[in-house]
Structures are given as structure tokens and as C-alpha cells.
Amino acid sequence: MSRTSSPSIEAVNLSKRYGSFTALSNLSLKIEGSKCVGFLGPNGAGKTTTLKIFTDMIRASEGKALINGVDVHLNKKQALGSVGALIESPEIYPALTPREALSMIAEIRGLPRAEARKKIEAIVTEVKMNEWLDKKVGKFSKGMKQRINIAAALLSDPEVIMLDEPTTGLDPRGQSEVRDIVKDLKKKNRLVFMSSHLLNEVQEICDEVAMIDHGKLLVYDKLSNVTSRFSGDGSNVVEIELSREIDDQSVNKNIASMGGVSSVERVDPRKIRIHFTGGMQNQESLLQDLAAMKIGMISFRPTASALEDTYLSLIKDTL
Amino acid sequence: MTQPNSPTVKALKERILPSSVSQVGTITKYELVNYFRSRRFYVLLVIGLIISGLLTGLVGYYRPIGFLDSTLDFYYNWWGMSIPFVIILSGIFYGGDSISGEFQNKTGYFLVGNPLRRSSIYIGKWLAALIASTIMVGIFVAITIGNGIYYFGFNVPYQLWESLGFALLYLVAVLGFTFFFSSLFKSSSMSILVTVILFLFGFMLIEALITGFAQIEPWFVITYGAGIITNVLKDPYPVTQTLRPGGRGETIFAVTIPEGIAILLGYFVITAVLGLILFERKEFT
């Protein structure tokens, strides 16, 4: 089995059938390099099924799941040695404390004891659970358990991270913190493969997106390419907020005439929504141009509309 | 921006995973921690102490002849009659939902996605159940011997140690069996219920029906094999005999020590292998 130098996961004609129901149909997908890939699709599309096959929780009916070139089914230990996974929302033995549960994972993964102790304290601090390190997990809320699950997935500094709706059960602050953690992982040269229902979350943190429906891969490409190819008018949307009211001339003439801008709408006197075509470069120049206007811009936030348009145009049913 | 061959990533690739044996030890260790902090460990401990306390009180107060006739009679009646029940309870408490609970409670999702074989999880959990159950058996044998010393002095018959050895073998077989049923079902209550019915009623009923009506030696019933735990405390060791009350032959079967060992080992090996195969193939759907 060949070993690639950069982290990779590959599904080769992956299928999963439960009797007459096909959960996954000939999925072929290769993701390589340090990036975050969002895995989108409606309920029952096959997202979790795919992730479960990659983590040996279920077996493929046909095809192969390779991690760094190693077949998960044939050599699970080697394949998952470099993987941290959070699939669904696992429960932790209720009588254990987070320190003990994470020590168990550290021992399973072969972290030296001293290193494990430091890493546990660091990762638990990162997920904001340091005050609960020595309390029994059985008393934790769903969100607190999910934070420990995230810590467990990241404990051994895996080069491939698979996350199945990681922000499930978390409060808005928790969701934001998880997004920050994933962004940091990208900086540390990790490959993150993340399923999510939250399109804005994917848009915010992912570089690429794979969409799946009825067990079939619909598209896999860079986020900007996907949105420009499939969204209704191919446009992206940003919302800007201002510290003072903006006049009509600035909206209708100055902003509307900027490069790539297809339309501008005023949401309220201090908020406008700008539709523009093109990818990241156009977004960057738009931001620069708006800043140069000195109109009191206090936020510039891409919305999920483009990705939402894409999603809605590709995926017709919810089940 | 990306540096796939950065020292950190390279170091990660070179990290050596512990052996499967070492991972079994890890699972066993933390499963035991979980047991010792759980209510069920103390419930079983209390049940064991209640059984011992009742026996201590009843024998001390009524001084039954059957118990106090001889040292061997004492251990036969005290230990031989109670320990199979203690073992079955341990099997149900520790093995009943050990594997099925991983599915029903979703704790399996925390472990299975890690780089370790499922067999390591199965064996680790089985060893933890064996250790916890052995502690129960140890407490019961200590109380038994304490009472024996009170009535008969330090003259502990060697047959008790043989019986203890067979009891531990029975424990191994019972846990193999309960883990098999635990692997068969995804529902904890179902696996516990089936185990309870089989061990507390099923096997004994099958044994009684087969010997009573078909007059066949029930060599395929685990509780028949466990008969060596009590038989060894009888002097002389009982043998199979045919009685003819009123001209009609009736055979009373007595399992021999080699037969008993073979039955218990057979149960353990077959159920352990089947249970492991089931767990390996079971999906976390």
C-alpha cells in the first residue's frame, strides 16, 4: 500500500446497503493535503455512514476506505493511528472523570505518560473544561460531554480529523469555540473532514465542500468554485454593518459600481447586503474598496447565501 | 501555507502505537475503575455479604446437623450450595450488558474509532469482569473459611481449594457465555434478561427434563458441568447410578471431574469465540 506524504483520505467505490436500502452508492472521493473539507447533505444522505466506514464502526458492502493509503478494514490500527474522530455524540463511561477518560485514549494511542498529562490539561483548557477535569462525566450536560469528545479526538495531535456534526449540543459560544479550534487545526497542517448541517459554519471554516445526497456524491470542489458554479446567479453575499447611516448615493452608485458587484440592497439604514460574483479575490478587493470608502464599516460578514443557494439547487429533498 | 512534511506531522507518522496486549491492559484498567465506582459493584457486594450474613446467622443460631457433621459437609453445604449462585450473579452483573451497553449507551463510539482492535476491547472488558467477579468470589470464600475455622479450626480440607479452582473455571465459562449474549443483542435489558432466564431457570429446567424424562446425561448443559464444584466436596465422590424403585429404572447422573472441566472449558471456548466474532462483525448503526 503506498504511503502518501500529505494526509489523505480516499473512498474508492464505497457502497453500503442495508437490505434493499442503499445508504451509500459507489462513493469515490479523494481528499489530500492540509485543509478543511465540509461534508454536506440532507438527513439520511450518507454522511455519517461514510464517516463510520472510515472509522470502522460499520463495514462497507463494497469498495475501500483508505486513510493515508491504508485500508481501514484491513489494517484498522495503522489506518486510524493518525486519525482523531468524533462520530455522532459518544457517551463516556459515566464513572470516569475527563482526566481518566482522556488518559485512557492517550494510553490506547501510545502517548508517553508525561506528555499525555500535559496534553490532557492543554486540550481540556482549549475546550474550556479545565474546571471539570476531575469531576465524573456522568453529571455533565450534553454540551460538556461533546467538549470532552472533541478533546479526545484532538488529544494525540492527529493529522487527519473526522468530525461528524461537531457543534451538535453546544451553545453558541461553544459552537464558536469549536470553529476556532478547527481553524487552528488548518494552521497546524491537518486535514479536517467535517460533516455539518450548518452551512454558515462550513462556509466560515472550510476550504472545500463535498455534497452528498441519496448516498451519491453530487459535487466536490473548492467552496468558491462550488458556489459560483451552482448557486442561482453564481453570486456570493456579504453583509456589512456600519456605525452610521449610509446615504443612497453611496449605496446605489459607489458600491454598486464596484468590481464584481451584481446588486446591493439596504437591509436597514446601517446594514447593507452586497451580492457579488467571483471567488475569494473579488471578496478581498471588495473589502478593501469598502474600507477605503470610510463609511464607518464595523463588520464585513460573508453570509451562507451562496452556499445555501448551491445546496438548495443541488439537493431537492430533505430525506 | 501547507507544509505536509513539517516536523510535527512527520513525528506523528512515526509514533508507534502500543501492542494489542498493552491496549487490552488499558481497557481492563479503566473498565475496572468504572466498575469500582459504579453502583452495581456495591450492590453485588452487598448481595454477597447478605448471603454470607444469612448463612452465618442461620448456621450460628440453628446449628444444623447437615452443616456441622463434618468439615467437608460444612464446606459442601455452605460453599458448594451458594457459590454457583454468586458466580451466576457476578456473570449477570458484569457480563450481562458489558458489550450490548457499548451499543445501547453509545460508549462504544468513544472507543471504537480509535486505533485498537475490537478484540482488544472485548478481551479487556472480559478480563475486567473476571477480575471484579473474582474479587466477589474471594470475599465469599474468605467469609466461608472464616466460619469454617470458627467451627472446625484451621483444618481446611484440600477439596475446598479444588472446588475453588472449579468455581473459577465455572466463572470463566459463565462470563464467556454472558459476553456472548451481550454481543448478540444491542439492547442491554434484553441481553441481561436472556442471561438471567437461562442461568437461573433455563439450564436447570433443561437438565431436569433431560435427566428426568429422556434419561440422557446432560453433558451439554453448563450447570451440569458445574456440578464438579459441589461433587468434589463429597466423600466419596458421587458416581452415576441407576435406581430401580418399583422396577422402573431411574438414573442419577454425576458429572466426573474430567467431564466437568471439559464441559466448562468447551462452553468458554465456544462462546468466547462466537461472542468475539459477533462483536467484530456488529455495526454501530
Encode pLDDT of A80-113 as tens digits.
999 999 998 899 999 999 999 999 999 999 999 9
* Span A284-313, average pLDDT: 83
Domain-located, residue A1: no
Domain extent for A306: 231-314
Candidates A53, A109, A36; CA nearest to B15 is A109
A102 to chain B, any CB pair closer than 8 A? The answer is no
Does A313 reach chain B within 8 Å, measured CB to CB? no
**Residue that is last in its domain, among A203, A222, A241:** A222
In a shared domain, residues A158 and A239? no
Instruction: Name chain B contacts of A18, Cβ cutoff 8 Å.
Output: 285
Q: Is B30 on the interface with A (CB under 8 A)?
A: yes
A81 touches chain B (CB under 8 A): yes
Per-chain mean pLDDT for chain B: 89
Q: What angle do CA B41, B44, B47 make, to 5 degrees?
A: 150
Whether residue B22 is predicted with pLDDT greater than 90 in this model: the reply is yes
Q: Would the pLDDT of A127 be above 50? A: yes
CATH code: domain of residue A297? 3.30.70.1560
Interacting residues of B81 by C-beta distance below 8 A, sequence separation 6+: B230
Are residues A182 and A292 located together in one domain of the fold?
no
My answer on whether A257 and A294 are in the same domain is yes
Together in a domain, A67 and A158 = yes
Helix axes B118-152, B257-281, angle to 10 degrees: 150
| Segment 17-76 of chain A within 8 Å of chain B by CB | 18, 33-35, 52, 55-59, 68, 76
Please identify, among A163, A194, A222, the residue that sits at the C-terminal boundary of a domain: A222
Confidence of residue B3 (pLDDT cuts 50, 70, 90): very low
With bands split at pLDDT 50, 70 and 90, how would you rate the model's confidence at B7?
very low
What DSSP character marks residue A253?
Answer: I
Shared domain for A199 and A84, answered yes or no, is yes
CA angle A34, A35, A36 (to 5 degrees): 145
A315 vs A93: CA distance, rounded Å: 38
**Total structural domains within chain A:** 2
Given a cut of 90, is residue A309 above it in pLDDT? no
DSSP state of A88: S
Closest-CA distance, B7 to chain A, in angstroms, reads 11
**Separation in Å, CA B78 to CA B53, B64, B257:** 12, 11, 20
Domain end, chosen from A222, A252, A275, is at A222
Examine the domain organization and report whether A51 and A185 are in the same domain.
yes
Q: If you count residue pairs, one on A and one on B, with CB atoms under 8 Å apart, how many are there?
A: 139
CA distance A155 to chain B (A): 11
What is the tens place of the pLDDT at every residue in B221-261? 999 999 999 999 998 999 988 877 666 677 889 999 999 99
A174 and A96 inside one domain: yes
Query: Are the Cβ atoms of A34 and B37 closer than 8 angstroms?
Result: no
Please tell me the predicted confidence (pLDDT) of residue B2: 39
Q: What CA–CA distance (Å, rounded) separates B3 from B7?
A: 9
- Tell me, yes or no, if B115 comes closer than 8 A to chain A by beta carbon: yes
Q: Do residues A169 and A268 share a domain?
A: no
Alpha-carbon distance of A309 to A315, in angstroms, equals 10
Residues A42 and A170 in one domain: yes
Per-residue cell: A223: 467552496
Q: What pLDDT, on the 0 to 100 scale, is given for residue B243?
A: 77
pLDDT of residue B271: 95
Cβ density class A83-114: b for 16+ within 10 Å, e for less: bbbbbbbbbbbbbbbbbbbbbbbbbbbbbeee
Q: Which residues of B touch A89 (CB under 8 A)?
A: 106, 109
C-alpha cell at A280: 475569494
Range B98-112 average pLDDT:
92
> What percentage of chain A has pLDDT greater than the value 90?
49
Together in a domain, A188 and A235: no
**B110 closest CB neighbour out of A82, A90, A157:** A90
Q: How far apart are CA A215 and CA A218, in angstroms?
A: 9
* Tens digit of each residue's pLDDT (9 = 90 or more) over B229-238: 999 999 899 9
Q: Is residue A3 part of a domain?
A: no
- The pTM score is 0.86
Interchain CB distance below 8 Å, B23 and A156: no
> Same structural domain for residues A96 and A216?
yes
Q: What is the ipTM of this complex?
A: 0.87
Q: Is A189's CB within 8 Å of B3's CB?
A: yes
Does residue A238 share a domain with residue A202? no
Residues in B closer than 8 angstroms to A85, CB to CB, are 113-114
- Establish if A92 touches chain B: CB-CB under 8 angstroms: yes
Nearest CA in chain B to A51: B113
Which residue among B5, B8, B16 sits closest to A5, beta carbon to beta carbon? B5
Grid cell of B246 as nine digits:
418399583
Tell me if A57 is assigned to some domain. yes
- Which pLDDT belongs to residue A310? 80
Can you give the residue ranges of every domain in chain B? 19-281
Three-state secondary structure readout of A271-312: EEEEEEECCHHHHHHHHHHHHHHCCCEEEEEECCHHHHHHHH
CATH of the domain at A143: 3.40.50.300
pLDDT at B4: 43
